[in-house]
Amino acid sequence: MRLLIIEDNQRLCQAITEGLRAQGFAVDAAGSAYDGLGVWQAADYDAVVLDLMLSDGNGLKVLKEMRDQGNMTPVLILTALGSIEDRVRGLDCGADDYLVKPFAMQELIARLRALLRRPGAALGRMLTLGSVKLDTSARIATVADAPLDLTRSELIVLEALLRNQGRVISKERLGECLYDFEQERSANSVETQVHRLRKKLAAAGADVSLRTLRGLGYLAS
């Protein structure tokens, strides 16, 4: 899953980014309202963490602009503005949750996971296809209830394929789930991760097929 952080405090932004990447998320970051709006419009995100007091404006203007465009990506406001009036204003402008600084990283992660578990959002707790199961919160995959040893990248690929089971997911979209803008990727990096995952599933006796449809993408069935 891919997240966007819009925060102008560079040290805090870096800490949040590293914390979320350690949890298996691909994370992009923007340090201003202008950059945040541009990045948000350029890619599909599963959730956005948004500061309000940005160096070049109020984060609520960014939120309102995206909501006016019909973008309903879950948004968690992360700000030092903690009055009841500020919270109400943020939620009324379209935010899905509101967390006041200072905060605990564990709480931020828990709140994001809660947003992503909502109906229609990106994070269902348990994904199942045949004998394969993936607990998206605990980041544990099993085949016939036996643990499957997967790398972070392989877990992300498995999750994306299971979320789109029965539907083709393009190579480009799978790459967006795997990598954020800062991460370098080789021309065949997506193919490599799918190949490794396919081999591990086969070795574990999974009754799941990961098909490559040339020119289209990948299909889990």
Task: Write the DSSP assignment of 42-66 as a string of letters.
Answer: HS--SEEEE-SEETTEEHHHHHHHH
* Amino acid (one-letter) located at 80: A
Greatest alpha-carbon pair distance for the chain in Å reads 57
Cα angle 115-118-119, degrees, rounded to a multiple of 5: 155
Check pLDDT > 60 for residue 12. yes
Helices (H), the chain: 10-22, 33-42, 59-68, 84-92, 105-116, 152-163, 171-178, 189-203
Task: Report the chain's C-alpha Rg in angstroms.
Answer: 18
Q: What is the chain's length?
A: 221
Question: Tens of pLDDT along 209-219?
Answer: 999 998 889 99
Question: Tens of pLDDT along 156-175?
Answer: 889 888 888 888 888 888 88
Q: Is 130 left (phi over 0), alpha (psi -120 to 50) or beta?
A: left
Three-state DSSP string of 123-154: CCCEEEECCEEEECCCCEEEECCEEECCCHHH
Question: Tens of pLDDT along 121-161?
Answer: 555 567 889 999 998 777 889 999 999 999 888 988 898 88
Q: CB-based contacts of 143: which residues, under 8 Å, 6+ apart?
A: 131, 132, 201, 204, 205, 206
Domains and CATH numbers, the chain: 2-116 (3.40.50.2300), 126-220 (1.10.10.10)
- pTM for this predicted structure: 0.67
